[in-house]
Amino acid sequence: MAKVLIFESSNHGHRLDYIVSLVEASIERGFDVTVCCPLGDGKLVQRLDDQSIEVDRLLLIDHKALEVNYASYFHRYFSIWKIARKYRPDRICVPTADGLEYAHLLFSCFGCALRPFLVFGLLRLRFGSGCLRDAIRYAALQSIKNGRIIHFDEFNFDELRERYSHIRLAYDPIDILSFSKSSANLDERPLVSELLSFILVVGYIDRRKGLLELVKALHCESESQALSIVVAGVVEPSYKNEVLAALEASSCKVDVVWLSEHLTDFEFHRLIQQARMVWVGYKEHSGPSGILLHAAAYGKCVIGNQYGWIGRMIEKYGIGYSCEANDPVAVADAITLANQNPRSLIQSSRDELIKRHSYGNFTAQFFS
């Protein structure tokens, strides 16, 4: 029986869905499945239990030792290597942040390379400024050549493929079909009044998500007086205090509704269906957004950053308005346009997007 090791170190946000889909696909193919996840973070364990998914082995690791920094990349890779030596998997799947490939390069020099080693996520074209660092990045990615790298950004995939032939494209997966078909038959009460007109901010919310700029934008936007902000998800405490202070100091009243930090899948989908607009104005973020994809699939107008994958998706498909997310005046202008003409995907394009970003297409990249 073929063996697969699925190694996760955060369980944050949309990545949890990736892990569950990979586990299910591995079981369906008859693999012996080992899942490694953080100690003290029960999200993955709870999800597997809720969906009655049984794996052959569930290993818990010290989450504190795997915080995102360069030392943690080597610790993380060393953990993977130790587990792989013990269980001898035929395939290793690792959702990763930038940096893990450097650990792979170092360990390869000591004969500890993992084959096949599958990583997925967003890969930047350059590690940083300077030819030396770019050369190191190139060598690091080439060190995984006998494995496979799954890349999520179709807009710069061709350029990456010219340099790294072993990279494959996978579309960031979403699943709305079960919710869109059944939600009309569910009797659960909505989290907010169906009469409320609001822009939705959802997920793990820190300074990068641009909530403060959105609040300031509604101070500037004269046509937004009837538009509220609904915040759903975990908000970084110090950042929430900063937003609350801005609301307190404002001369214009901005209505912000703070919902539970822990949404069910149904609540997440229902909120997007209810929203007038969805905010994806993430600062310093160039990669894909599951929130944008869900909003587009439900035919919602999004307000997003003009840079990176989000800006290109908005421009290519006309699913809302992009702006400079650091500039509240630019955000306000985008909201004004959205109020006047709330652009969204037509149904045929929505059907195409849902099909392309299915979990079946995503998992197929790992087992083809």
pLDDT digits (tens, 9 = 90+) for 186-242: 445 667 887 789 999 998 899 999 999 999 998 765 555 578 999 998 899 999 999
Using an 8 Å Cβ cutoff, are 152 and 96 in contact? no
pLDDT tens for residues 4-21?
888 876 655 677 777 888
The CATH number assigned to the domain with range 177-353 reads 3.40.50.2000
Binning pLDDT at 50, 70 and 90, where does residue 362 land?
confident
Same CATH topology for 3-173+358-367 and 177-353: the answer is yes
Distances (CA, A) of 6 to 81, 113, 323: 12, 17, 38
Where along the chain do its domains lie?
Answer: 3-173+358-367, 177-353
Residue 311: what pLDDT?
93
Residue 40: what pLDDT?
65
pLDDT tens for residues 80-131?
888 888 888 888 887 765 566 667 777 777 777 666 666 666 555 444 445 6
Which of 43-57, 178-192, 204-218 has the weakest average pLDDT? 178-192
Q: Which single residue is written with the structure tokens 């930047």? A: 124
DSSP letter string, 294-346: HHHHTT-EEEEESSHHHHHHHHHHT-EEEE-TT-HHHHHHHHHHHHH------
The CATH number assigned to the domain with range 3-173+358-367 reads 3.40.50.2000
pLDDT tens for residues 332-353?
999 999 999 988 888 888 888 8
Please report, in angstroms and rounded to a whole number, the separation of the first and last CA atoms in the chain: 17
Tell me the residue type at 122: L
